[in-house]
Amino acid sequence: MAILEGMHILVVDDEKIIREGAERILKKEGWKTTIAESGERGLELIKGNEFQILMLDLMMPGISGMEVLKNVREIQPDLLVIVITGYATIENAVEAMRNGAYDFIPKPFTPDQLRIVVRRAMDKINLEREAELLRIERAKSLQDIANEKSKTLTIINHMADGVLVTDQNGYIVLNNPAVTRMLGLEEESPLGKHLSAWAGSEDLTRMLEKVLSMESSQDQGISLELAWGDPPKSFFVAHSAPVRSDKGEIFGSVTVFNDVTWLKELDRMKSEFVDMVSHELRSPLSAIRQKLSLIVDGLTGEINEEQGQIVSRVQHRIDGLIGMISNLLDLSRIESGRLVQQKERIALPEIIDETIDLMTQEAEKKELKFEVAIDAQLFPIHADRQSMETVITNLLSNAVKYNREGGRVSISARNRGEFIEVKVADNGVGISKEDLPRIFDKFYRIRSEYTRKVIGSGIGLPLVRAIVEAHFGTITVESETGKGTTFTVLLPRGIS
Ligand code: ADP
């Protein structure tokens, strides 16, 4: 056994030959041993030292072994006592055991018998020490767990985001104050209630059901935007994920709520501002454009060629500004859900043809070639006509604007499952990997030698995406610098 350090044996026997013999044998084993010739001396030594094992003769003159044993129980209750006894006093040995002695050895004994009995006592001490260490260790780890738990709870309770944990049946097992405050449900504690009964939100209940039935461990969770109140007063994004055991079984869910009301409010204020400014700008610009037309058309008198050219250029710039303002207005309208309301059954090829016609002048200046491939059996779509014109115009005009002399612009439309796929591709300047993820951000324009010369506002693509998404479609882009760009739009087919 490993833990033998610090063992100290005391042998108390009035028979010199026994106690000295025992001392010799024990010391030979390398065990620290002290001897005493009487009960009195033995007790004295026990009071002043720390022994682990006491070998105690029962039959001694003066204070008897049995007395010593009783005293030892009081002085050092954990001292392990082995009584040394003659054959005739075996009953005494039994009594001693009853009084707390651990073992006994009859006299006379052989060195081996002595070693065995002492070793057994040492083993017992070692086992007890180990058990004690384990107990301390366990108590410590329980304490650690308790500390950890209270630390985690403190953190969760002080989080600004709402946290809600359910078991695998959807009953709430943990929540923080933020979630009850956010949902305006501070009155009653959610603990033990089913989420659907407590929050009363179908969206939340459906999300939880989905999360709790996510079979694949690849499924990370669901995010959902929630409008809270009727009419909505607050807006949240709820991220919900399953909690799995090591084996991947779901034993609950955890949902974190971010309050995005202020972001919504900011967005609304921004849209209102853009709306207001655009309206204020559009009318005077349109008036200026009309007046300029009067000049160009000669209704205000003769103008020479140079004057005509200057006014035309001004008109062109004003057209750019009016286009940008229309885009801005459309974007703010679509963001507030006011645009795509007039859906009708429309045929995309018509819109594509008309848009290409409008672009030819611009394209000819750069000697661009148009390639058009439209599936003859193309499904109609159910969409807002003006919005679709905006989508095609913006994509085609970008393919023209960001192209080189003699370049190519191709547009194709085909049926793809339940969708119609429209691709607008060019072999122009392309977009770098770094810029690609940002081109759908509002007002984002790529800064390069080439794009510096192109007039634009950075709201064409965000508007296109907003329109496509409002029609339950998607838009993706692939591009490589210097090689060209392809935009792919998928729109759900209309009921034919
Ligand atoms: P802009 O008014 O600047 O054209 P967009 O939102 O339409 O705004 O496009 C954002 C940016 O994406 C553009 O400034 C341009 O740099 C890049 N971009 C868009 N389409 C293409 C394209 N077909 N080829 C290369 N770059 C493009």
Q: Please give the distance, rounded to the nearest whole angstrom, from the Cα atom of residue 482 to the centre of ligand 1.
A: 14
pLDDT for position 92: 77
Q: Where are the beta strands (DSSP E) in 168-233?
A: 172-175, 222-228
| Beta carbon of 457 within 6 Å of any ligand 1 atom | yes
**Residue of the CA atom closest to atom 21 of ligand 1:** 398
User: Which ligand 1 atom sits nearest the alpha carbon of residue 440?
Assistant: 6
User: Which ligand 1 atom sits nearest the alpha carbon of residue 428?
Assistant: 24
pLDDT for position 2: 44
| Beta carbon of 426 within 6 Å of any ligand 1 atom | yes
Ligand 1 probe mutation, 328, 461, 475, most atoms within 8 A of CB: 461
| Beta carbon of 445 within 6 Å of any ligand 1 atom | yes
**Residue of the CA atom closest to atom 16 of ligand 1:** 446
Ligand 1 probe mutation, 439, 442, 450, 454, most atoms within 8 A of CB: 439
Tell me what percent of the chain is helix, strand and coil, each rounded to the nearest 5: 45, 25, 30
Q: Is 254 helix (H, G, I), strand (E, B) or coil?
A: strand
Burial letters for 5-28: b for 16+ Cβ neighbours within 10 Å, e otherwise? eebebbbbbbbeebbebbbebbee
Measured distance CA(175)–CA(198) in Å, rounded: 12
pLDDT for position 1: 41
User: Which ligand 1 atom sits nearest the alpha carbon of residue 403?
Assistant: 24
Measured distance CA(87)–CA(89) in Å, rounded: 5
Q: What separation in angstroms does the CA of 216 have from each of 220, 240, 242, 255, 344?
A: 9, 15, 11, 19, 41
User: Which ligand 1 atom sits nearest the alpha carbon of residue 430?
Assistant: 25
| Beta carbon of 439 within 6 Å of any ligand 1 atom | yes
| Beta carbon of 407 within 6 Å of any ligand 1 atom | no
| Beta carbon of 399 within 6 Å of any ligand 1 atom | yes
**Residue of the CA atom closest to atom 14 of ligand 1:** 445
* Whether the Cβ atoms of residue 299 and residue 311 lie closer than 8 Å to each other: no
Q: Is the pTM of this model over 0.75?
A: no
| Beta carbon of 323 within 6 Å of any ligand 1 atom | no
Q: What angle do CA 87, 91, 96 make, to 5 degrees?
A: 110
pLDDT for position 339: 59
179: nearest Cα among 254, 283, 245: 254
206 CB neighbour count, 10 Å cutoff = 13
Q: Please give the distance, rounded to the nearest whole angstrom, from the Cα atom of residue 76 to the centre of ligand 1.
A: 89
Q: What angle do CA 349, 353, 355 make, to 5 degrees?
A: 115
pLDDT for position 340: 56
483: nearest Cα among 438, 436, 427, 406: 427
Q: Please give the distance, rounded to the nearest whole angstrom, from the Cα atom of residue 92 to the centre of ligand 1.
A: 105
pLDDT for position 496: 47
Q: Please give the distance, rounded to the nearest whole angstrom, from the Cα atom of residue 310 to the centre of ligand 1.
A: 27
Q: Please give the distance, rounded to the nearest whole angstrom, from the Cα atom of residue 456 to the centre of ligand 1.
A: 8
| Beta carbon of 456 within 6 Å of any ligand 1 atom | yes
User: Which ligand 1 atom sits nearest the alpha carbon of residue 463?
Assistant: 6
Q: Please give the distance, rounded to the nearest whole angstrom, from the Cα atom of residue 445 to the centre of ligand 1.
A: 7
Ligand 1 probe mutation, 366, 398, 441, 464, most atoms within 8 A of CB: 398
Q: Please give the distance, rounded to the nearest whole angstrom, from the Cα atom of residue 475 to the centre of ligand 1.
A: 14
Measured distance CA(238)–CA(256) in Å, rounded: 6
**Residue of the CA atom closest to atom 2 of ligand 1:** 456
Measured distance CA(226)–CA(238) in Å, rounded: 7
Report pLDDT digits (tens) over 392-450: 999 999 999 999 999 999 999 999 998 999 999 999 999 999 999 999 998 899 888 88
pLDDT for position 375: 94
| Beta carbon of 330 within 6 Å of any ligand 1 atom | no
* Whether the Cβ atoms of residue 303 and residue 295 lie closer than 8 Å to each other: yes
Q: Please give the distance, rounded to the nearest whole angstrom, from the Cα atom of residue 342 to the centre of ligand 1.
A: 28
Q: Please give the distance, rounded to the nearest whole angstrom, from the Cα atom of residue 158 to the centre of ligand 1.
A: 45
The whole-number mean pLDDT for each consecutive block of 10 residues of the chain, a chain of 496 residues, reads 70 94 94 95 92 92 90 90 79 82 89 94 92 89 84 90 94 93 87 90 91 82 86 90 88 93 84 80 90 90 91 88 84 69 84 92 91 93 90 95 94 94 96 94 87 82 91 94 96 75
**Residue of the CA atom closest to atom 12 of ligand 1:** 439
- Name every residue whose Cβ is closer than 8 Å to that of residue 355 and which is 6 or more positions away in sequence: 389, 392, 393, 396
* Whether the Cβ atoms of residue 82 and residue 55 lie closer than 8 Å to each other: yes
